[in-house]
Structure 1
Amino acid sequence: MPERTALPDIIQRYLDAYNRRDVEALVACVSETVVFENVSNATPSLRIDGRDAFARLAAQAAETFTLRRLEVRTAVIAGDHVALEVDWSGTPAVDLGEFRAGERVVLRGASFFTISDDRLVRIVDLS
């Protein structure tokens, strides 16, 4: 079995904080000028700019799910750019469109990160 590529420390800290729903630790991973985008079914569904907006989104998301977890399937690292294929699972605390509160949701997606000065400056999540 091939050895798994070690993720950059900032990416591992981000994933650990995300899985713990630790908003403060998650926000500590991003730059002041972070850009976060979510693309769902090839349609941009959300874009936020800046650490303050990211912090508000992270706090809201942490409250929206009683449990959430990102598991890395594969990683490609090219300098300050990291692409991850991920399995995401979560349990919403409230009804979210087709997803019902308390029901486990499982999705596959990808996350793309750009790192600068040991902070995340761009995050793009595809689902």
Structure 2
Amino acid sequence: MGPAHYFLGNEFHRTTTGFHLSQHKYIDDLLLRAQLHDAKPLSTPMFASTQLTNLEGEPLTDPTFYRTIVGALQYMTIIHPEISFAVNKVYQFMQTPTTVHWAATKRILRYLKGMINYGMLI
């Protein structure tokens, strides 16, 4: 079968110092699914002062879509641990997501767009 190059959304590239792990294709597919492929990238996944509650915003018409995207983001924390805090924040509202929670999720996705070529060296 040969050496692994792509497995479960994770890309493996052998270097002289080890393996470079990335999720370039996974991020790209996620941005397409969320219709944010042409969005402007951001430098941070969330503002430090962001406070999310159940009382803000209008309920989403399709919470299943929100749950799918946030679940995919949670999987991405394996190679992008810097988004763990922000993903945990939006994950807390899986039961009844609102437009404010979706906006916070889109910010994480826009951050990942700017980090699409980054990965982890092992």
TM-score (norm 2): 0.26
Q: Which has the higher strand share?
A: 1
TM-score (norm 1): 0.26
Of the two structures, which has the highest relative contact order with CA contacts closer than 8 Å and spacing of 6 or more?
2
